[in-house]
Chains A and B, each alone.
Chain A
């Protein structure tokens, strides 16, 4: 470190006091989180396995056909990392949650890299519902809450289809009653 920081004002760290919670990011006052369907794990697993197969095929082709030995190593490494992350998939899906509060939609996801987003209902530009092939087989749908900001990124995956439709209608209704311009 280039500089040894020295507090130059009294009561050196006033903010230390407002952090009674642990190191983990959490909203202590938030209510019950609604979780996505556990079946969504299957969608993720199928996606990961397909990715794995493509990586293996590409690495194998490079190795066996073009005699590039490094490709085998790189492919193997990617495959190993993917397999390990596959083991965490159920936990990751369990971390996805959302709740409808009085004035805003609260969304969370991630375990290692946590992310919390709060969107006031009035900021809604549109709600998108998409169904991939695997999700459709399992009767699931993904809901995306789109605002004028590209970085909002509120996408709730793996909702039961009926739930997704109900949530969409509810969100539209809430947004309508709290409409704000751009």
Chain B
């Protein structure tokens, strides 16, 4: 346990107000410096001044003293405001909750219950990262309901996250430290808890040495691997080769769009005459280069790893972000393969979750992509991480079939042949299966898709039918989960099968919710079953019981 999670109020990193100002402060500084430089050049080379310049006016009227005074006053007010805002911004982590108090004139006090935590995210934007600071964000369900600690010392943020997750997991007794990353040794100089001692000793031991240490630790942190090698067992880590990442970005729908635009451009130039097309398309093309680059740098250094307190998803080259999702916080999983990725056998995994980090994920997509691109083995690994208890042979086979099977009698309950009127290509593959506390929906043949919904997280089930499907004795089924990129719908389904799905899945959802302990995923003293996951086997057997 670090000293921050002891139930007392603590302050953030002293530079927080400046860092939160972020780009704005630096822009202002840049503006001032650029202007001063011009004046300096003017003075040195004796370029005649134009009248009307405010600085000259001040100089000519002899108000330099007043101007300096006002500038100093503004500076002092800003300094006081920053100091006050830092002093008033405190946080507390107790056994039950995380609390933040902030604001000078308008005080705010926000409290998040630990058993409602949906994820803990640590973001290091480039500039704070250079100063060894990180932003810790505890997300809970709800719109704009996150608790943000911006900023903390980098190593401290990691430690605090570990503590928060440990408290939230319900494991009251301290855990063995083996396998834990304990980067306590190189505490950064800007660490709030240690400030008095640090500055005092540093001042006496020689400023030069301190500065040297500071720089060394900054560089060390900056170059450190994104994922501490001790934090997760190596076999549970998935990484993406750079070439595959480039390939996945090149072979995307966006490229098709860009190619069409380029062709249009060339044709318009050859034919001549219509200049408006050039004006309309060309800036967009240049912007698209920026899109590719940002998408690439943001997805670089992607890593997914299983830790004791859930899955850690990290990414980013300059601005890094890594989020820990505790077990049972994932409401739906979608594994998709666009047509262009098919020759390479690449897949993408995205998830629905209740808590939303305010920071964008890779490539400006919301942070819901768990695996931007991966092979079939990577997919299996990641699914094992985010759906523990779903790794038996039976489920492996189901996932395999769900991803690449052409359909047929393979464990999925598929649409009947008459569904070909509505799904001429994919009717054979359109089907569902229920296994080990999760529903699998399979659909699409050109761009293939498999959706997994953990029954314990399912909100409700609906089946619909319109006039067309009535004539074909078909229906549509939809599993309702929290909002996200994954929609769990099945477009065509036999009428009787739809009714059966409604009954089976509802019964499974009720049973899974009863045995679900994921709000305190490692508490063992209360729960006789040591399974941290909703592992109630709602297999086909249980399903048959319900419907019969």
A180 CB contacts on chain B under 8 angstroms: 456, 513-514, 516
CA distance A57 to B139 in the complex (A): 50
**Closest residue to B431 on the A side, CB-wise?**
A15
Q: Does A122 contact B (CB under 8 A)?
A: yes
Q: Which of B421, B427, B482, B500 has the most CB of A within 10 A?
A: B482
Question: Which residue of B has the minimal Cβ distance to A119?
Answer: B460
B459 x A149 contact (CB < 8 A)? yes
**Beta-carbon nearest neighbor of A145 in chain B:** B460
Tell me whether B473 and A23 are in contact (CB under 8 A).
Answer: yes
| Chain B residue with the shortest CB-CB distance to A151 | B480
Q: How far is the CA of A150 from the CA of B499 in the complex (A)?
A: 22
Complex interface: chain B residues within 8 A of A112 (CB): 466-467
Mostly, the A contact residues are: loop
Nearest chain B CB to A29 CB, angstrom units: 7
Q: Is B368 an interface residue (CB 8 A)?
A: no
A14 & B409 in contact (Cβ 8 Å cutoff): yes
Given B413, B462, B480, B510, which contacts A15 in the complex, CB threshold below 8 Å? B413
Which residue in chain B gives the minimum CB-CB distance to A105? B460
Q: Is B425 an interface residue (CB 8 A)?
A: yes
> In the complex, how many angstroms separate the beta carbon of B328 from the nearest chain A beta carbon?
8
**Is B459 within 8 A of A119, CB to CB?**
yes
Question: B116 at interface (Cβ–Cβ under 8 A)?
Answer: yes
Q: Report yes or no: B506 in contact with A9, Cβ–Cβ below 8 A.
A: no
B367 at the interface (CB under 8 A from A): no
- Across the interface, which residues of B come within 8 angstroms of A123, CB to CB? 458-460, 509, 513
Contact B502 A118 (CB under 8 A): yes
Quick check: B499 and A21 within 8 Å, CB to CB?
yes
Give bound CA distance, A123 to B458, whole Å.
8
Task: Report the Cα distance A22→B473, complex, angstroms.
Answer: 7
CB pairs A–B below 8 angstroms (20 shown):
A1-B421, A2-B424, A5-B420, A5-B428, A12-B417, A13-B416, A18-B496, A19-B495, A20-B496, A25-B498, A27-B502, A29-B503, A104-B510, A118-B503, A119-B459, A119-B460, A123-B460, A123-B513, A148-B459, A181-B328
B interface, CB within 8 angstroms of A: 115-116, 118, 141, 328, 354, 408-409, 413-417, 420-421, 424-425, 427-428, 456-467, 470-473, 475, 478, 480-483, 494-500, 502-503, 506-507, 509-510, 513-514, 516, 518-519
What 4 A-B pairs come out closest when comparing CB atoms? A19-B496, A149-B459, A149-B480, A180-B513
